[in-house]
Structure 1
Amino acid sequence: MRAFYYIENYSKISRSFITEPCPCHLAEAGECILCSQLHGKCFCDCLNWKGVCIYQEFNNNGKAAKKGRETFRCKVKEVEHLEGDVLLIRFIAPHKLALDLVHPGSYVFIRTDENFYFDVPISIMESDIESDVVSIMIEIRGIKTKKLLDIKIDDEMVIRGPYWNGVFGLKSINELKDNKALVIARGIGMAPSIPVIRKLSNNKNTLKVVIDKSPYKDVYVNEYLKQYSEGYEEINTIDKGKLTDEIKKLILNEIANGVTLIHVAGADILSFKVIEFLNSIDKRDVKVSCCNNAKMCCGEGVCGSCTARFQGHRVKRLCKVQTDPRNIFEGRRFI
């Protein structure tokens, strides 16, 4: 299993976890998001050190990046067209890959073509470590995802991974135990919410799950919700870019009942509005986690497609940075 250590360094937004491919190519370029010495500084300022030194790992590896993520050819076990633009695929993965993909925020790059420019990042809905069957739900949107419509049972897909930064606020999710949490999932966000719900349930938390199936006709994760929660409530969460009164009332009631973490699985506007609402009622102590919806191409922080600008002319690689969602949305420049 991979190492999973949380480290905070010189910037509050640069909190992440160390994985097997660390140090990566960013360290070679002097752009490491964790190690100050591999980011052009001449001193070490790691906080909450957990016993793993990236700088030492880099030197021990001959001042070179470690081997990157592998590519696997996986056999498709099941394909289901749920509705017009929603596709459910189950494929058989190597056992090690299935183990690595059980964690919240796990995702892979998939393609059906040998051309690696055509792969697309997809969050994991379920990874069964007994059968090694991995389930993903895909919303067909553009040229890359349209190619996936041609997949048939027994075909092979090319999988690159594993990656784990598909959720912001992982520390809050992993540390919450014997407590209460609220999960709000909308649209395709219902798929990546399942590993989060499973983790929170396994940590003996009491869960309130809210599903907004819009724009779909049905809730396509019923079988998983039955396994990991005591059901769910269907609520319209957002209307014309604003939180509905119904979801606001529910959030207030759940906080009054002791909820200390809210996970939002949906578009950025939903996460932003939930954080904005919590701030407006002076509930900054309620922790938040959410989907990482950044555009991604390489997944290694090199290509720049995931970068976002923040106050102080800071540029962050959102495929790598692991932090509290408030740090992502509150300090972000949209122009």
Structure 2
Amino acid sequence: MNNHRWQCIDAGSDYCPCYLAETMDCITCSHLKGKEFCDCDWRGVCIYQAFIFEGNRKKDPRVDFDAEIVERKKLSDKIIIFTLKVPHSFARQVNQPGSYIFIRNKDFGQYFDIPISVMHADCQKDLIQIAVEIHGVKTKTIRSVEKTMSIRGPYWNGVLGLAYLKQTQNAKCLVITRGIAQAPAVLVINYLLRNNNAIDVLLDQGSADYDFIEEFCKVKNIEKCNLYEAQGIELLQKKIDTQDYDLLFLGTSDYLQKKLYDSIEKLKDKKVVMTNNNEICCGEGICGSCTIHDINGVPIRTCKTQFIKG
């Protein structure tokens, strides 16, 4: 078994070491897992050394702060786009694929924290944009937010397969996305464009009934379809059969991801990046709501953990 298949997204950041170091549950550092030897394979600043330097304690965690709502754009009864004013460093930190934040109506307690993907970041004006789909108990509280909202971040594990994404340059890529999952797809597309990649987009607007890609990305090759119908699957199959794509991005639900994998055999042979659709609650790897188990039975805290192909 390869012990180095999983790596913490926060390793080496301003938030490392974290709570998990104090409880000897660190995702990356073998010493902070209770082992007597080092086999972490981490190439950054030593996490164990940083932990000792901090006095055997974690670094200061992320904290909530109030963000001014510069614009509130209601697309439908269910979709609202918020433009938020944030500190300059924060805008820079979330201007990368997989970035997400927790938002909350200040009139409610922390039980109402909602993980939301960052859709767009303007580092010159220090603005970020998020798209909120009003769906359940938590998101319904956002309807009444007008002037400010409480946010916490930055977090970066909203997309799985970042290693593939960051290695892709001067290549041909296919983005497949549906509904509100277009929001995290925007940062993915713009990142790929900055690295001189050619991008085709297969878009199913789904219940969002809105084209975020056309509004926020300079992409010309956008084809629309219904991925739950046979014609949509056939279109995707044709594109994969006829085009030599180096990377695929799946911005869809887990159900649709599985449906596509079951329907299109060649997907299993491609480099695929996908949205992290697991139940994220705390973002710090503590509560366990996002935990899944790999084929070896190892529990994976998906709010913080990336798969590293050995």
Judge same fold: TM > 0.5, yes or no: yes
Pairing of 1:7-156 with structure 2 (within 5 A): 10-14=3-7, 16=9, 18=11, 19-47=13-41, 49-113=42-106, 115-152=109-146, 155-156=147-148
Secondary structure of the residue aligned to 2:170 is coil
Superimposed CA distance per residue, residues 236-290 of structure 1 (whole angstroms, 9 cap, x where no aligned partner): 1124xxxx35334434434542201110111112223334445x34x54410001
Give the equivalent residue in structure 2 for 1:295. 279
Q: Verify the 8 A CA contact 2:8 2:304 in the aligned structure 1.
A: no
Is the aligned partner of 1:316 residue 2:306? no
Check conservation: 2:186, 2:212, Cα contact below 8 A: no
Counterparts of 2:8 and 2:259 in 1: how far apart (Å)?
Answer: 23
- Residue 258 of structure 2 is aligned with which of 224, 247, 272? 272
Q: Is this contact kept in 2: 1:275–1:288, CA < 8 A?
A: no
Q: For the residues of structure 2 that align with 1:251 and 1:321, how far apart are their CA atoms?
A: 31
Residue 79 of structure 1: how far off its partner (Å) = 0.9
Q: 1:127-160 CA distances to partner (integer Å, 9 max, x unpaired)?
A: 11111111100111111110100022xx111110
1:300 corresponds to which letter in structure 2? Answer: E
Query: Conserved in 1, the CA contact under 8 Å of 2:99 and 2:154?
Result: yes
Deviation at 1:91, TM superposition (A): 1.1
Q: Residue 199 of structure 2 contacts residue 221 of structure 2 at CA under 8 Å; is this kept in 1? A: no
Tell me: CA distance 1:259–1:20, structure 2 relative to 1, closer, same or farther (3 Å).
same
Worse overlay, 159-168 or 253-262: 253-262
Do the aligned partners of 1:79 and 1:151 also contact (CA within 8 Å) in 2?
no
Unaligned ranges ≥5, structure 2: none
TM-score by length of 1: 0.86
Structure 1: which 4+ aligned runs deviate by more than 4 Å?
Answer: none
State how far apart, in whole Å, the 2-side matches of 1:68 and 1:255 are: 47
- Residue 52 of structure 1: SS of its match in structure 2? coil
CA offset at residue 58 of structure 1? 1.0
Q: CA–CA distance in 2 between the matches of 1:112 and 1:257?
A: 46
The amino acid across from 2:291 in the alignment is T
Corresponding residue pairs, total: 307
Structure 1 residue corresponding to 2:181, chosen from 189, 203, 207:
189
Verify the 8 A CA contact 2:10 2:304 in the aligned structure 1: no
Equivalent residue of 2:75, what SS?
strand
- The residue type equivalent to 2:151 in the other structure is I
- Give TM-score, length-normalised by structure 2: 0.92
RMSD of equivalent CA atoms? 2.1
Partner amino acid, structure 1, of 2:102:
F
Contact residue 16 and residue 323 of structure 1 kept, 8 A: no
In the aligned structure 2, how far is the partner of 1:209 from the partner of 1:128? 23
Q: Which moved more, 1:287-296 or 1:310-319?
A: 310-319
What percent identity do the matched residue pairs reach? Answer: 37
Amino acid at match of 2:119: M
Alpha-carbon offset, residue 116 of structure 1:
1.8
Partner SS, residue 246 of structure 1? helix
Name the SS of the counterpart of 1:230 in structure 2: coil
CA–CA separation in structure 1 for the residues paired with 2:162 and 2:295:
23
- Structure 1 residues 89 and 252, CA gap change in structure 2 (3 angstroms): same
Q: What is the CA deviation profile of residues 187-212 of structure 1, one whole-angstrom value per residue up to 9, with x for unaligned ones?
A: 10011100000000110001001110
Matched, 1:158 2:161: no
CA distance in 1, matches of 2:271, 2:261: 9
Could you tell me how far apart the structure 2 residues matched to 1:22 and 1:209 are? Answer: 36
CA separation of 1:201/1:251 partners in 2, compared to 1, >3 Å: closer, same or farther? farther
Residues 10 and 36, structure 1, Cα contact 8 Å, conserved in 2: no
Partner of 1:236: 226
64 and 97 in structure 1: CA distance in 2 versus 1, 3 angstrom threshold: same
Query: SS at the partner of 1:83?
Result: coil
Letter aligned with residue 323 of structure 1? F
The separation in 1 between residues aligned to 2:195 and 2:270, in whole angstroms, is 18
CA distances 1:37-69 after superposition (whole Å, capped 9, x unpaired): 21122211123x423211111111111111111
Q: Distance in 2 between matches of 1:259 and 1:183?
A: 10
Letter in 1 for 2:181: G
Mapped to 2, the partners of 1:166 and 1:248 lie a distance apart of 28
**Aligned twin of 1:4:** none
Q: Secondary structure at the match of 2:151?
A: strand
Amino acid at match of 1:73: D
Aligned-partner Cα distance in 2 for 1:39–1:146:
40
SS in 2 for 1:21: coil
Q: Pairwise mapping of residues 171-182 of structure 1 onto structure 2 (< 5 A)?
A: 171-182=163-174
The 3 A distance-change label for structure 1 pair 276 and 40 is farther
What's the CA shift for 1:307? 1.2
Tell me if the contact between 1:100 and 1:162 (Cα under 8 Å) persists in the aligned partners.
yes
SS of the equivalent of 1:98 reads: helix
